[in-house]
Amino acid sequence: MEWFRSIPKVELHAHLNGSIRDSTLLELARDLGQKGGVAFLDVEDVIMKNDRSLVEVFKLFDLIHVITTEHSTITRITKEVIEDFASENVVYLELRTTPKKNDSIGMSKRSYMEAVIQGLRDVASVDVHFVSRTEQAPSSLNSQSTENSFNGSAKKKIYVRLLLSIDRRETTVAALETVELALEMRDLGVVGVDLSGNPTVGEWDTFVPALSFARQQGLRVTLHCGEVPNRKEVQQMLDFVPERIGHACYFCEEDWRKLKDLNIPVEICLTSNIVTQSISSIDVHHFADLYRTQHPIALCTDDAGVFSTSLSQEYSLASSSFGIDKVDIFDLAYKAISLAFADHKVKDEVRKIFSSSKGQLSSVDQD
Ligand code: 6MZ
């Protein structure tokens, strides 16, 4: 594991509220329990459970959202999630979250996102680069910035970009609001939009106006696609030709052919797919075929907190399950850079970080 932690990595599919530390979630649940907001023991049971079907996962998200309602909590979890990814040498993170509106506490989608941005600003132990091209001076894009020390040791560096998620429970109007917000927040590192949420809820047609508008305006689009069997929707989504898709668990031969013809990259979430039983076992995971045929793919965590995983663990799992040696694992991580939605300057900086880490390959035993 140590080696998998030590190499630089790129995370392209991580949901903020799915990536919360267990310890933080339990602490927040205990606080809320004391205020009578939830029954702590019930919550503890749900949080600590390890086997989660897709249905249970979405129940858990509803519970998590009750626990993380406040702006200050969103700020805290964002900060911690960034620190956690940076601590395992994720050097580029595309973090996605669903902007939420909650009139009872004066939360608008914008104020929710401002709380997220505050979380990025609050990180002190890691050098976080999140402001996009127009505001960031070219010199600060340099990967060897000098004021980088924390408690006497060199700070790690992480580039963070944001994707705003549209929840499949939302209406066309609500989805359009999210896209408008994403456009307004481009200078704060928002690079695209995602369609996610319970895949058994909602219709593709509801989201097309917002996703088409996003695309027209130059935002990148990624879709949760084929997480449950739904032939018609998979075809409709592929016809939209998103810049990436996530999961692709329930694909038939024709879907694979179309995906490959269109060369649409896939965000692969091994542990998530196994735990939710979307894929029956790792040895039949579509990663194997996509990897062998050199289709563009990126290993991702999905929900590191909910599925008790990390990006290092996902790389380690791919290596042990599919017999991929360290040189090829490093290459797999490197190739994910080109699938990022950030601009080419950021990608070049991330490539430099990989180049300077290449020594890790020669200094390790290839076993
Ligand atoms: C579909 C998922 C997901 O947005 O509140 N989400 N949507 N499939 C998945 N695979 C298991 N995992 C997470 O993060 C939590 C939200 O992300 C989406 C769901 O809409 C969930 O409510 P945010 O930060």
The CATH number covering residue 252 comes to 3.20.20.140
Q: Is the pLDDT of residue 261 over 70?
A: yes
75 or 59: which carries more pLDDT confidence? 75
50: closest CA among 223, 306, 228, 236? 306
Q: Evaluate whether residue 18 is within a structural domain.
A: yes
Q: Please answer whether residues 178 and 148 qualify as being in contact, where contact means their C-beta atoms are separated by less than 8 angstroms.
A: no
Given a cut of 90, is residue 235 above it in pLDDT? yes
Band (pLDDT 50/70/90 cuts) for residue 41 is confident
Residue 300 Cα to ligand 1 middle (Å)? 14
Q: Does residue 364 form part of some domain?
A: no
Gyration radius of the chain's alpha carbons:
20
* 115 belongs to a structural domain: yes
Residue 336, phi then psi, degrees to nearest 5: -65, -25
Amino acid at position 309, single letter: T
- Exposed, middle or buried by CB within 10 Å (0-12, 13-18, 19+), for 203? exposed
Q: Rounded CA gap, 146 and 168, in Å?
A: 44
Residue nearest to atom 9 of ligand 1 (CA): 197
* CA 276 – CA 98 distance, rounded (Å): 21
Pairwise CA distance, residues 140 & 216, whole Å:
30
Average pLDDT over residues 76-97: 98
For residue 18, the CA-to-ligand 1 centroid distance in Å is 7
pTM of the predicted model, to two decimals? 0.94
Confidence of residue 132 (pLDDT cuts 50, 70, 90): low
- pLDDT exceeding 70 applies to what percent of the chain? 93
Query: What kind and span of H or E run contains 126?
Result: strand 126-129
Nearest CA owner, ligand 1 atom 18: 197
C-alpha to C-alpha distance for 116 and 113, rounded to whole angstroms:
5
Q: What confidence category does residue 88 fall into, taking pLDDT thresholds of 50, 70 and 90?
A: very high
C-alpha 35 to ligand 1 mean position (Å): 27
Mean per-residue pLDDT over the chain, rounded: 92
Residue pLDDT, tens place only, 327-340: 999 999 999 999 99
For residues 140-157, average pLDDT: 60
* 226 inside domain: yes
Is 366 inside a domain boundary? Answer: no
- More confident call, 35 vs 21: 21
Q: Indicate which residue of 80, 88, 227, 233 is catalytic.
A: 227
Q: Is 314 annotated as catalytic?
A: no
Give the Å distances, CA to CA, from 61 to 43, 244, 306, 325, 358: 12, 24, 9, 36, 39
CA of 152 to the centre of ligand 1 (A): 37
* Contact assessment for residue 310 and residue 270, using Cβ atoms and an 8 Å cutoff: no
Question: pLDDT value at position 344?
Answer: 96
Does residue 182 lie within any of the structural domains? Answer: yes
pLDDT for the residue 366: 44
Band the pLDDT of 142: cuts 50, 70, 90.
very low
Beta bridge partners of 159: 92, 129
Ligand 1 mutation target, pool 19, 60, 61, 181, most atoms within 8 A of CB? 61
Mean local confidence (pLDDT), 221-241: 98
Q: What is the dihedral of CA 297, 13, 250, 281, to 10 degrees?
A: 80
**Cα atoms in the 13 Å half-sphere on the side-chain side of 153:** 4
- Domain count for the chain: 1
Report whether residue 16 contacts ligand 1, using a CB cutoff of 6 Å. yes
Model confidence at 134, pLDDT cuts 50, 70, 90, reads low
Q: How far is the CA of 151 from the CAs of 124, 127, 142, 155, in angstroms?
A: 10, 13, 22, 9
Residue 359: the pLDDT is 77
Average pLDDT for residues 235-261, to the nearest whole number?
Answer: 98
Indicate whether 367 belongs to any domain: no
Contact in structure between 345 and 99 (CB atoms under 8 Å): no
Give the residue numbers spanning the domain of 187.
2-359
365 within a domain of the structure (yes/no): no
Choose from 62-71, 135-144, 172-181 the range with maximum mean pLDDT.
172-181
